[in-house]
A and B are shown apart, each in its own frame.
Chain A
Amino acid sequence: MNLTPIDWTIIVVYLAGCMTAGSWMRRFVHGVEDFAIAGREMDVNLGIASLAATELGLVTIMYTAQLGFTKGFAGATIGVIMAAAMFFVGRTGFIIGPLRAAGVMTIPELFERRFSKRVRWFAGLFVVLGGVLNMGIFLRLGGEFLVHATGLPPGYLEWTMTALLGAVLIYTVLGGMLSVLVTDYLQFIVMGLGIVLTSILVIGHLGWSEIVEGLSAGWAATEAGAAPERLKMAGHPFNPVHASWGYIAWQIIFQVAAVTTWQTNVARVLAAKDAHTAKRVYQRTAFYFVGRFALPGLWGAAAFVFFSKHGMPADVDSLTAMPTYLAMILPAGLIGIVIAAMLAAEMSTDSGYLLTWATVIYNDLIMPCVKRPLSAKARLFITRSLVLAIGVFLLFYGLWYQMPGNAWDYLAVTGNIYLASVFTLLVAGLYWPRANARGAMAALILGAIGPITFLVVNAGKEPANQISPEIAGFSSFALAFLGMWLGSLSKSVETKGQP
């Protein structure tokens, strides 16, 4: 066990603070609008804290550190692309401007106004399917970090995950988005402190030039075929286009779609006071996303250099190398702050995601099927029950699911199940007057074929023969746009016009 009483005190104080603040916000929830989008009262800086905290989870830290371990600094290229995409969208208001101005609670709600009720329902189904599947690995990866960093016996992983999710569920079910915003704010501060301190310590421990030289040496050994199996690099540690431009090109399209379509990002756009506030949140959060990849990537790269020099423990792989390394170098007191920071990262992401998917199920799958209007109390009860149900589902799904290949590729491809099709619907619905319901349905169906094929075909194949993530990704976007184009032009259906 690596934790001292000081570390435990820090962790307990942090958890108590979060639970108190989160539960306290319950008193301000009077209806679904307060619960789901904080009564549209979110201002810029709270929006930055919430967006950054939600999108920087423990799962993010684990997979970006894995990228740092296997691809060196070049693993952070995705972060640079994401930041550029976010700044572009914030600057121009591309999609998010008209989306916020439409005054909807979710993206599929916009599709009913623009296309039809059926399109809304199917889009809602795709959003939930892609989102919940994507979230399925969060708990296991988070648990892996905690087990390796704290030295807890691996058998405690499931219990750790259950307790953590239970704590998140309590305040999310009670206060919804209002609790999420306040706890995200606290978590942003604790998480930022932990990330900054850990990064300084990692650089101080090995020295900057040794990290750079160690990565160069690792790549030279990999190219010469002299590197041990677990220390073979997957790509040049500094040059992101060394192996393929295809992956980079796919990431550019993927990230623009992600920042405009991913419901947890969009939830902050819709909770903002107005479109101008939403654009400012995006512009000011953009550079944060570089560090989201670069700083945990640095920890992963440092772990690679350290284990290359001192030998890698037998039960450690590219995913668990970073927490194992941190447990070795972090002193008492500081490890407590870092564990609290990582708990903050996990909790802020879980709460934001639980709320988002529950809101979509309520707003776009259940409400369109309800004939009689429900009371405000009943609607709030349904939304709260959905948050709880998704939490329970994730606990079981997250425990038994075995992640195929690289964690980041898995997340990207399951997210693609809806990103490609919903992005196509948004672009066409907002900017192409000829787009219609038939084209929208075709885009939804065709856009899902690529990612589903990836999951099904790759499940029974050796890694060398699997479909690459960029091929699956590109095909999804191409098929979705083709579906929208052909469907909309095949028959002149009367559309509902601009939202």
Chain B
Amino acid sequence: MSNLLIWFWTAVIFASLAWYGFLLFYIAARGGKEIVQMTRVLRGRKEEEKFDK
């Protein structure tokens, strides 16, 4: 039982480490694009508001 649990926690910890490593690059790339997109939309809204006034 104890050996099985040790294997379980070994898998959990190393999988977490791999997942954190992967997300680091994935989110850095995708999240950066989304920030640019979000600021474009917000800037567009501001200009629309000015135009409406």
Residue A16, interface by CB 8 Å:
no
In residues 2-39 of chain B, which contact A (Cβ within 8 Å)?
2, 5-6, 8-10, 12-13, 15-17, 19-21, 23-24, 26-28, 30-32, 34-35, 37-39
- Total A-B residue contacts, Cβ distance less than 8 Å: 106
CB-based contact A192/B34 at 8 Å: no
| Nearest opposing residue in chain B for A30, CB measure | B46
B10 to chain A, nearest CB (A): 7
Tell which of B6, B27, B45 touches A238, judged by Cβ atoms closer than 8 Å.
B6
Interface size of A by CB at 8 A reads 42
Interface of A is mostly: helix
Residue A41, interface by CB 8 Å:
yes
CB-based contact A43/B37 at 8 Å: yes
Stretch at the interface among A135-143, A180-188, A482-490: A180-188
A342 to chain B, nearest CB (A): 15
Taken together as a complex, chains A and B put the C-alpha atoms of A34 and B20 apart, in Å, by 30
Tell which of B8, B10, B32, B38 touches A42, judged by Cβ atoms closer than 8 Å.
B38
Q: Interface size class for chain B?
A: 20 to 34
Indicate whether A239 sits within 8 Å of B37 (C-beta atoms), given known contacts A30-B49, A288-B20, A288-B23: no
Residue A48, interface by CB 8 Å:
yes
Residue A294, interface by CB 8 Å:
yes
Tell which of A73, A182, A199 touches B35, judged by Cβ atoms closer than 8 Å.
A182
Top-6 shortest CB links A-B = A291-B16, A45-B30, A73-B9, A238-B5, A28-B42, A192-B24
B residues whose Cβ falls under 8 Å from a Cβ of A: 1-2, 5-6, 8-10, 12-13, 15-17, 19-21, 23-24, 26-28, 30-32, 34-35, 37-39, 41-43, 45-46, 49
A residues whose Cβ falls under 8 Å from a Cβ of B: 28, 30, 34, 38-39, 41-46, 48-49, 52, 73-74, 76, 80, 178, 181-182, 185, 188-189, 192-193, 195-196, 199-200, 208, 212, 216, 238-239, 287-288, 290-291, 294-295, 298
